[in-house]
Structure 1
Amino acid sequence: MFCARLLPSSRLIWGRVRRKGEIKLRRLSTEQEDRHLKELVACYRHNGHAKAKIDPLDLSYRSSREIDDAVEKVKSLSSAGSFRGLVHNDGLKNLDELVDYLEHVYCNRLGLEIHQLSSEEEKSWLIREFEESATKFQLSSNERKRMAEQLIKSQAFDTFLGKKFGHIKRYSAEGAESLLSFMSAAVNYAAKDGVEHVIVGMPHRGRLNLLVDLFELPPEVLFYKMQGNSLVPPDIHAFGDVLSHIATSVDLKCNDKSVHVSMLPNSSHLEAVNPVAVGKARARKQSRGNGQDDKILCILCHGDAAFPGQGIVAETLNMAQLPQYSVGGSLHIIVNNQLGFTTLAEMGRSTQYASDLAKFIGIPIFHVNGDYPEEVVRACQLAIKYRTLFKRDVMIDMICYRQWGHNELDDPSLTQPLMYNRISSRQSVPNLYAQEIATAGLVSEEEMKQKEKEYSDCLNRALSSTGQFQPQETPCRNHWSSMVQPSKNATVWDTGYPIDALKLIGVKSVNHETLSLHPRLLKSHVEPRLKQIENGSSIDWATAEALAIGSLLHQGFNVRISGQDVGRGTFSHRHATFIDHSTNESYVPLNNLVPKQKGFLEVANSPLSEEAVLGFEYGMSIESPMNLVIWEAQFGDFFNGAQIPIDAFVSSGETKWLLQSGLVMLLPHGMDGAGPEHSSCRIERFLQLCDSDEDALDGDRVNMCVANPTTPAQYFHLLRRQMIRNFRKPLVVASPKLILRSPLATSSLMDFAPGSTFQTVIGDSVPSKTVKKVIFCSGKHFYALNEFRQEKDISDTAIVRLESICPFPSEELKKELAKYETGTEFVWSQEEHQNMGPWSFVYRRFQRQLNVNLMYAGRAPLAAPAVGDAKTHRKEHEQVLQTTFL
């Protein structure tokens, strides 16, 4: 009877014949032997990483049963077969040499994982380069000496901080010093490939080492901060951030080339900076024009627990090859401490490697032992070459350890005694490498000690000079130099635009050239817009948006709008992108307003993500003040999937890091019976994030703006104001749903003309002397109140709209209040529940700033944003109206 043994690839290894109770090997042909040898090589190439010596602590036994079985089976063959062409080494003479060669290449200090790649071309290239580099890669003597000095400097830096600032958490590089070797190599190799801009996003670990030892941050700046001082000059309205979040921007010399490096500020949500860095890289790439992928490199550093543990990582990876989010490939490195805070790897993830999450986008992964900086540099070189050639992300998993636990004040031996027994008994990475090059005769250990002493002396001098240090940071630098920090006063900006130009934009916004459009789209979108422009009246929301964006493009600004199905719009109202009904060809009419148009509109239908996409858009917005970046939630409440970037970046980026952003968030909002999840954009949360003063009159110095506009013209002016002003602030717009097409919520074309502006308050035309009650409200609710007033023929009640909620329009409200007689009743009415909406924000300001006591009319407090059945919703709605007026 014939039996077969199979490799994981399901290929026949040898045949066995059973005769009279015995099993004998059947002699295989030379062709069969060659095939089995090829399978042995393939087994090493695919599984060698599992056996590689990549753990500097040797905490777990690493082996590959597949490799062991393959070797055993091939050695049982009757002859060695042919080795020529099997690997990139033609000098092999026998099977033992082949196995030794494969062990050296694939099971050493650097492992290669490529089975997840779908491209055979990429696999073949990686195999060839990996095998050749295993024998040919060699740093020059000068490069090795420089790297040894760099590592020793890092060690001296950490030792110095430990002695002088032992009470401060610094998240040192100790145990992961090879990160500096990686980053230095990445910048240098990238420069050789023509990269001019490197954008770095990273968490705390080793950040200070990189800032000072590699990115040329003066050490006195760091010491000044560590002494408890603020790096924000006293005349700047900002409050700074903690030590481990600070950033830098510097030009580095790489041989005869200059590379600009931007290390972005980060938050304590370790991976939240990922999409921000990628977004900034894309905006930088676009500012240089198409075809500039090779000039920009995004480097993302990760933690081994955070990488698989935080969903924003997967969301960011998923964007890597999407056409409107790609940056030509990012370079990733996991600083793998084999520990997350105090949690061991086997308790913090369900995968073999911390890097396994990256497999789902089919990119190569290099696993490298952090004790061997030269191998880290080799991995970096291979990764850079791959990224340059294939324009794809690439991952390096650098396995290392933390010398002092989560931070320097921690005692990790309480929970990881075995790990820290080994760590405490071993030499440091810099000392190990110094010994290696000393043995090679390149430099003596005494010279290295002298270098360490010289650097420590340098740090001491810097520390002694901190008394003379004065923060010089300016709020707006480089291409942001035209921007200013706003004053406390509220400013009014003429955001109108010439009518003739608006008519041109309106017509061009639905010009579909030779495209064959869906008949329904022609009837419901194109023809009505042309009619609106021709008549100059009944301008709806979508047309106003097109006029705002088109006018900004006409002036040379760039606009990007992203979100889920934004090209069409959730409510099929926008249609900024036309799709040919017969060919599926896409066309953006607003990109063809005039010949040689300077401004460009990018319409990005995003993946089903909020957190990473919003972080990405924020990153784009901080790159240039010439970019209007808009993110639209599919429904308003979907923003809460992006709460971390909103909290950590959007609402606080300027006060922490002096980064201005004009990001616009469109959040469809309104109580219309849609149930708990699709009603409210939770205006109250954004107002709670605003730094508006309850007592002082608000001007432009708030951290972000929150608006609930009621007309298309108001929306038009809001968008234009974002770019016309000489400063940038994030803008949250509670945008409409039901009133997108309402004939009551339209504007005249003259409302967009020069001299017009955004009105923070819209008063009423009811004669003030007849008014006994003034109802203050915001947004869509105005139309329900006005309709009720007309139905009930109520003539003694005025309705005043707050279009801007933050900044709170105190001065405009004072003018409005002055119209009414003493004894007039003032009511705040809202459709949201009492614990939501603007109520908790506005009533205290009415009281403290305007000396007005407001009565509340609205829904009672509720745990959910809305009820779940239509009958209860309608009953509540009627009660709100009755309570407001009666």
Structure 2
Amino acid sequence: MYSKLCGNSRNPLNLLRRTYHSDGVFGYKPNARKNTIVPQDVLKRRSENANFYRLVEAYRQHAHKTADINPVAFTKNLSIQPELDPQRYGFESNDIVNYEGIIRCGKRDGTVTEAVEFLREAYGRKISAEFVHLESEEEIEWFSQRLEEISHETLSDEDKRRIGAEVLKSQNFDRFLANKFTGVKRYGGEGAESMMAFFSEFFQLSANDGLEQIILAMPHRGRLNLLTGMLNFSPVKMFAKLRGMPDFPDKYQATGDVLSHCISSTDLNVDNKQLHISLLYNPSHLEAVNAVSMGKTRSKHLCTKAGHYSGNGEMGEKFVNIQVHGDAALAGQGINQECLAISGAPHFEIGGSIHLVVNNQLGFTTPAARGRSSRYSSDLAKIISAPVIHVNGDYPEMVAKATRVAFEYQRKFRKDIFIDMNCYRQWGHNELDDPTFTNPSLYQIINKRRTVPDKYMDKLIEESVITKDEVDKQVTDYNAWLNSHLKAVDNYEPEDPSFQKQWTGFSQAQHVVTTWDTGISEDLLQYIGTKSVTYPQHFNIHPHLQKNYVNARLTKVQNGQKIDWATAEAMAFGSLLYQGYNVRISGQDVGRGTFSHRHAMLVDQETNNIYIPLNSLHENQNAFLEVANSILSEEAVLGYEYGMSVDNPNNLIIWEAQFGDFFNGAQIIFDTFLSTGECKWLWSSGLTILLPHGYDGAGPEHSSARIERFLQLTDSKEDKPDGDDVNMQVCQPSTPAQYFHLLRRQMLRNYRKPLIVIAPKTLLRLSAATSSYSEMTEGTSFQPVLGDITTEPHKVNKVIIASGKHYYSLMESKENLKVKDTAIIRLESFCPFPTSELQQELAKYKNANEFIWSQEEPRNMGAWTYLKPRFENLVGKKVKYVGRETLPAPAVGVGKWHQEQASYVITEPFSVDQ
């Protein structure tokens, strides 16, 4: 069971087999899986026929360069590959050669001319492939054998009719919308209808192979066709959307989204077998959804419906991820490289994704020749040694054959594979665009040709697979069905998208502020704290960790005092695991922590084995901590974690940035998923983000988590007190106990909200920033405001409000300056904004006539612009700003200037005149 926490050990890219032992140790062993060895008799025949074998290998390697895969080529492919000339290998056309063990054409021998004709059909006509770059001999052998076999296979009449029906429906749907909804951008599938052959074939193969679910990420083009044609999406719902009607009933707090982002989560009956398809919501930021789909797929593999880690099967066995790409977006969007880079990494493997490139040969209006530097848009696949099948999209049957090969490859090797389906766009970027402005030659060809479905139906009629009357009836019946749904639009009421399956019992948050008891018993705190640093007897721990981490924590746990940040975090993790919630923390070096404080995983200094103490809390443990040290990526990794969080509410998913500033590499995920997913799509997520923050002289890129950006992304109101129904929480806890409660609160509520934690750096080891058991036991909870207990309220005439690490600097300055008339209170939660708590705290200071907001960040950053209107409109107090002046960068990079500013921001608040 536990190997699921490490990923797929079958990936031949991994030089080491990753295992997870039942005692909680992540281990590394040499990969025992060997490639299939080519039989000796075959090797002998190849040696005897070395020149012929060289010719065959040349076709396997180079034939794709001359293949007829472009359905709308306006320049003739004049490339000549000398490697493909038989005379180069000493052959004349009629020479007889032995085929056995070299090509699979059904014959033992024959002429070189016959062999070349067979090789052209297999590798260089309407379908071709790049696979000789694969690092595994077994994969190369398998691929060549399968391509040669399938080149002379034919589809059954039943399969042809099934595929024909789907491509014809796709065309009719586009024509129906063009007629009924003129002037609407629908991003239709015209020119790319053969993608329906891919989906039809893939769904058929999946159901017959016993797959349970396909998690599908797809951009705009052809999406509506797939939804209505194959994914049971009601046309009346789509037509209502086209008329501007809302997505959800009024009772839901939602903005909705554009038509081209619609989804379907549906069960298909394929050959009396059930197959679930989840087409995910996608933003218009191309390719961003791919990482989300990967994370959701991993969650499916790891978790049962109850949320517990499952021991059944392996990665890619029951759940498969499909990613559909546009050609220009695949080559141009960096998240694709990031997604491929994590696809084989421990804790991110999902058993291989199937990639379909809908190759329109245009990016917006830019032709392929100007849109990339590589020969193919799919060349990115080679960075992970993934094979690519190129196919001419004018031929749906060839697309179906490519799909079969791709499906079989993923099932056998559990690796990514790409299908590059070369096609075209009947119109421009959208149906209202004139593409001839920029691509006149291409569209002269497109405008003169018959459509893909029309050509294919002509072929099927000619083969007597179907009659013209049957084709006409299909069109008539389908249009009648669409018209019946169009007539029903006037009476359409949006469906109630209630929380179902693993989300049963959850809801949207209401406009109230609720305090959740997140404390646990002292005995449990002590037990978890002790277990968090307990390791096997013969485990060779680093001597520094034994003294300064293990022994130090045991002392704190025994005394129940001076609980530091890492210990409180371990107690939060352990208590959630104890209650049956899974915990996953992901990011760069999160196992030890950027600041070497966490050490949630211990590394044996002699064997390099890894041990995670919290995964051995008790014998019957069914929830686990996954420590996912990620690659050096932000966007793909955060998208991945978001996908895991929306799949199952029983997963506490945490992403930690190495420094808070580095989140900006994932800004698209924050903007289009995390902050807006619930209001657009009613997707709930409890994803927790840890962003280390604090000005300590490290310069512009290592100081600020840019609090202001996250506060600008919230829907917190300036004219009414905030409730729990804000789109996401932004908090800056100043004590380990506060952090402990925040983490536990994420899982104990009956709703899920993203949490941005403005996390500490220096506070991780600051003796003043520690907690005791009394702050974490039953009856305690997160406090959005922490008052001043060092100053008598009646003596106070000035109140400073601050947050985080800055509070401790101010307190130290207050003591050094011997200030007696100033209180300092801590704002721990920015959003939701704690109006009532602030009012209650400030009411203590009857004589105070000055209220100051003090922050480390420059005036144009930090919480100031967010806080000021709320403080004055909601709390009812005028507040002044004291801090750094405006800056274009988050911090200065000159040490002397930093020291001057640091001194100013902690002394000036005490000297401000009324």
Given residue 496 of structure 1, which amino acid in structure 2 is its aligned partner? Answer: G
Identify the residue that residue 760 of structure 2 maps to in structure 1.
Answer: 736
8 Å Cα contact 2:64/2:130 also seen in 1 = yes
- Alpha-carbon shift at residue 850 of structure 1 (Å): 1.6
- Pick which of 80-89 and 227-236 moved more: 80-89
Tell me the CA shift for residue 73 of structure 1: 4.2
Shift of 1:773: 0.2
Residue of structure 2 aligned with 1:204, choices 220, 223, 230: 220
**Which of the residues 251, 255, 262 maps onto 1:235?**
251
Is the Cα–Cα contact under 8 Å of residues 706 and 862 in structure 2 kept in the other structure? Answer: yes
Cα distance in structure 2, aligned partners of 1:186 and 1:527? 56
Q: State the partner residue of 2:781.
A: 757
TM (norm. structure 2) is 0.92
Counterpart contact for 1:475–1:659, Cα < 8 Å:
no
Cα gap change, 1:632 to 1:42, in 2 (>3 Å): same
1:126 to 143, 154, 174: 143
Aligned position for 2:609: 585
Partner Cα distance (1:314, 1:71) in 2 = 41
Q: Secondary structure at the match of 1:572?
A: coil
TM-score norm. by structure 1 comes to 0.95
Which residue is equivalent to 2:53?
A: 38
Instruction: Output the aligned Cα RMSD.
Output: 1.3
What is the CA-CA distance between 1:77 and the residue it aligns to? 9.0
Determine if the alignment matches structure 1 residue 644 to structure 2 residue 668: yes
Q: Which amino acid aligns with 1:41?
A: V
Instruction: Say which SS state the counterpart of residue 85 (structure 2) adopts.
Output: helix
* 2:480 corresponds to 1:457: yes
Give, in whole Å, the separation in 2 of the partners of 1:173 and 1:71. 45
1:184 aligns with one of 189, 197, 200: 200
- Contact 1:266/1:272, CA 8 A, preserved across alignment: yes
Q: One-letter code of the match for 1:334?
A: V
Does the aligned pair in 2 maintain the 1:773–1:825 contact within 8 Å? yes
Of 54-63 and 164-173, more deviation after overlay is shown by 54-63
Q: Equivalences for 1:603-752 in 2 at 5 Å?
A: 603-752=627-776
Q: Are residues 1:534 and 2:558 paired?
A: yes
2:63 alignment partner, one of 15, 39, 48: 48
> Aligned partners of 1:126 and 1:823: how far apart in 2?
79
* Correspondence list, 1:70-81, <5 A: 70-76=86-92, 79-81=95-97
Structure 2 residue aligned with 1:158, among 141, 150, 174? 174
Q: Which residue of 2 aligns with 1:280?
A: 296
Q: What residue number does 2:19 align with?
A: none
Amino acid at match of 2:632: L
Give, in angstroms, the shift of residue 145 of structure 1.
1.1
SS state of the match for residue 252, structure 1? strand
Instruction: Assess, with a 3 A threshold, how the Cα gap between structure 1 residues 193 and 636 changes in structure 2: closer, same or farther.
Output: same
Amino acid at match of 1:47: H
Whether contact under 8 Å (1:579, 1:585) holds in the other structure is: yes
Structure 1, unmatched stretches of 5+, are: 1-29
Cα separation, 2, equivalents of 1:173 and 1:601: 44
- In the alignment, the residues of structure 1 paired with residue 97 and residue 199 of structure 2 have an alpha-carbon distance, to the nearest angstrom, of 44
Q: Map 1:24-35 to 2 at 5 A.
A: 34-35=49-50
Structure 1 residue 417, shift from structure 2 partner = 0.5
Q: Please say if residues 231 and 473 of structure 1, whose CA atoms lie closer than 8 Å, have aligned partners that are also in contact.
A: no
> SS of the residue aligned with 1:305?
helix
Contact 2:46/2:53 (<8 A) preserved = no
The answer to whether residue 502 in structure 2 is matched with residue 444 in structure 1 is no
2:588 — aligned with what? 564
Structure 1 residue 880: deviation in Å?
Answer: 1.3
Q: 2:452 aligns with which of 429, 433, 453?
A: 429
* Matched AA of 2:200: S
Name which of 807, 828, 843 aligns with 1:803: 828
Distance in 2 between residues matched to 1:757 and 1:44, nearest whole Å: 69
Match of 2:906 in 1: 881
SS at match of 1:146: helix
**Residues 1:340 and 2:356 aligned together:** no
Shift, 1:598, TM fit: 1.6
What is aligned with 1:841? 866
Could you tell me which amino acid in structure 2 is paired with residue 54 of structure 1? I
Alpha-carbon distance, 1:33 to partner = 7.9
Tell me the amino acid that sits aligned with residue 895 of structure 2.
A
CA separation in 2, counterparts of 1:104 and 1:595? 59
The one-letter amino acid of 2:741's match is H
Cα deviation, 1:22-65, whole Å, max 9, x if unaligned, reads: xxxxxxxx998821111000000111111211101123433441
Q: Are 1:635 and 1:668, in contact at CA under 8 Å, matched by a contact in 2?
A: yes
Give yes or no for the alignment of 1:103 onto 2:116.
no
Matched residue SS, 2:49: helix
Misfit runs of 4+, over 4 Å: 30-33, 70-73, 76-79
Q: CA–CA distance in 2 between the matches of 1:192 and 1:216?
A: 20
Q: Does 1:520 pair with 2:544?
A: yes
Per-residue deviation, 1:150: 1.4
State, as a whole percentage, how many aligned pairs show the same letter. 49
- Tell me if the contact between 1:694 and 1:848 (Cα under 8 Å) persists in the aligned partners: yes
Task: Look up the equivalent residue of 1:48 and give its one-letter code.
Answer: A
Matched residues, number: 856
Q: CA deviation at 1:445?
A: 2.2
* Matches of 2:314 and 2:265, distance apart in 1: 21
Matches of 1:476 and 1:826, distance apart in 2:
45
Look up the SS of the partner of 2:421 in the other structure. Answer: strand
- Please give the alpha-carbon distance, in whole angstroms, between the structure 1 residues aligned to 2:580 and 2:87: 66
Q: How big is each residue's C-alpha offset from its partner over 1:248-301, in whole Å with a ceiling of 9 and x where there is no partner?
A: 100111112111110000011110001000000000110142424210000000
CA distance in 1, matches of 2:813, 2:766: 16
The one-letter code matched in structure 2 to 1:553 is: L
Shift of 1:881: 1.9
Q: How far does residue 443 in structure 1 lie from its aligned partner after superposition? A: 1.2
In 1, are the aligned partners of 2:93 and 2:113 still within 8 Å (CA)? no
Contact 1:660 1:728 in 2 (8 A): yes
* Preserved CA contact (<8 Å) 2:94 2:111: no
Q: 2:388 is matched by which residue type in structure 1?
A: I
1:488–1:698: 8 Å Cα contact kept in structure 2? Answer: yes
SS in 2 for 1:190: helix
**Contact 1:591–1:600, Cα closer than 8 Å, also in 2:** yes
How do 1:834-873 and structure 2 match up within 5 A? 834-873=859-898
Distance 1:77 1:464 in 2: 66
Give the drift of 1:768: 1.1
The 1-side partners of 2:136 and 2:615 are apart by: 35
Instruction: Write the distance in 1 (CA, Å) between the matches of 2:67 and 2:81.
Output: 13
Structure 1 residues 78 and 704: CA distance shift in structure 2, 3 A: closer
CA contact (8 A) 2:635 2:668 kept: yes
Equivalent position to 2:813, from 766, 785, 788 = 788
**In 1: Cα distance, 2:273 partner to 2:776 partner:** 50
* Residues 1:634 and 1:70: Cα distance change in structure 2 (over 3 Å): farther
**Cα-to-partner distance string for 1:387-406 (whole Å, 9 max, x where unaligned):** 01001011000000000110
Q: Which of 251, 262, 265 is the matching residue for 1:249? A: 265
Deviation at 1:74, TM superposition (A): 3.4
Distance 2:94 2:501 in 1: 72
| Map of 1:817 onto structure 2 | 842
Q: Distance in 1 between matches of 2:524 and 2:795?
A: 42
Q: How do 1:85-96 and structure 2 match up within 5 A?
A: 85-91=101-107, 92-96=109-113
Q: Which runs of 5+ in 2 are unaligned?
A: 1-44, 305-309
Contact 2:746 2:753 in 1 (8 A): yes
Deviations 1:674-727 (A, max 9, x none): 111100000000000001111111000100000011000000000000000110
Q: CA deviation at 1:142?
A: 1.6
Distance in 2 (CA, whole Å) between partners of 1:33 and 1:385 is 32
List aligned pairs for 1:56-67, cutoff 5 A.
56-62=71-77, 63-67=79-83
Do residues 401 (structure 1) and 434 (structure 2) align? no
- SS of structure 2 residue aligned to 1:676: coil
Q: 1:40 corresponds to which letter in structure 2?
A: L
- C-alpha contact 1:88 1:131 (8 A) present in aligned 2: yes
- Alpha-carbon distance in structure 2 between the residues aligned to 1:590 and 1:94: 67
Name 2:793's counterpart in structure 1: 768
Distance 1:60 1:575 in 2: 61
Q: Which amino acid aligns with 1:335?
A: V
- Residue 672 of structure 2 aligns with an amino acid whose one-letter code is A
